[in-house]
Structure 1
Amino acid sequence: MTFSKYKRLCLVLLLPLLAAGFICAHAAWPYDPYQNVLCQPFLGSENCRPVGHIDGPLYKSIKKDTDKDWFEIWTYDEHSPTSTYAMASGRFIGGAEITGALPFSGEGHEVADFMKRNLVGKQAMVHLGFPTETAKSRAINATTVLLYCNDLRYQAEPGTYTSGCYGEGWSGPVTYRIDSRPSRSMLDTLQSDVWRLVDEKNSDFRLWQIVIYPIFIYGFLLLSFVGWMTVKATRFVKTS
């Protein structure tokens, strides 16, 4: 076979082999796009790590042996090919200023008015994670409130965060700004470590695609190379 004919053969087989690799990848070698991550403070930094399935031994061991409350870290990205469910052990954040508060859907206008009147503009101490099922946000004095919240969402504006918080007769996302350097540094370090694992998971998925989708193309090229080398070796033996 001449080289020009071989190139035409490659072009003809390219799409069928790629389609076969795609089908086999999802049927025989599926990739799990989900990961669970748990984070805990460690020596002034963060120790975030994948812990397998929520029913797995490592996940259960960490959650059971750690005498702390936990809160969720939002990692949703519509452009990400994988999904990460991240949780961190409870934190106490001081020096926050509440800039917005809305009730969860279905709470009604009275709750919305109450939250706006009693939360927005106040200073806050934020407890991320529930120490008990009965913990409720409450006012400490006329200008300061203690918030009990169970998740953390990083906003586009640096130093601004939103958490789902719960109080007596109200619940909803509360947005707050933190100017305190230690608190911001802790939350930024937490974000950096979580998103490092998100990026690693995405890179691992793309590597899987690069390796598995064209696997039959790789096989065809390898067999072609072996066949070409065999022909060359046979001709060499005959002419020597």
Structure 2
Amino acid sequence: MRIDIITCLPQLLDSFFAASILKRAQDKQLVEVQVHDLREYAINKHKQVDDYAFGGGAGMVLMIEPIAKCINLLKQQRTYDEVIYVTPDGELFGQKTANVLSLKQNLIILCGHYKGVDERVREHFVTREISIGDYVLSGGELAAAVIADSVIRLIPGVLSDETSALTDSFQDDLLAPPVYTRPADYQGWKVPEVLLSGHKANIEKWRYEQSLERTRQRRPDLLAE
């Protein structure tokens, strides 16, 4: 998989992909992440990528020309499955969407900033609009990182145990069950006996029941869906 992220603040993403699971995934050549500085495609020597909105109003808008130049150049090099724009008014991102995107080969993620992008970018370049929640961030960089992280960890070979991702919360519309590790008894706080029994069927049954109960208590909306 290859993920190209377009942003006017690439430094916000530098460290995110340089450590832990995401770094190992790139080192193993399971995914390639390229961050593109939108200012390199600016229309003038001042590296301008934004301008005032027609009709007035507060805030600046990312211009269509730099974005179009960057996307068109990338499309000359490969075919992209999706051009994603991260925006508060996009579809709400969830595990099902992450699963779908993890099966793609090439993705572009466009980060908005200021008051967003020229609407013509959305009309003519973007194929999918995604929101990570009903709130507004200073820019789309954090949202792009969240999407990339949740997608990359699903690629076979990224996690040392490939079944780990399949047992995460939301994979089966349930929250994950409680987990424990050593010691089995800490100041009288004990691990449930079933987890120490070695009886796989009973353990799986317990985990499912715990997932169901936790979902019922904390996210009953998932059960309704």
- TM-score for both structures, normalised by structure 2: 0.22
- TM-score for both structures, normalised by structure 1: 0.21
Please identify which structure carries the higher strand content: 1
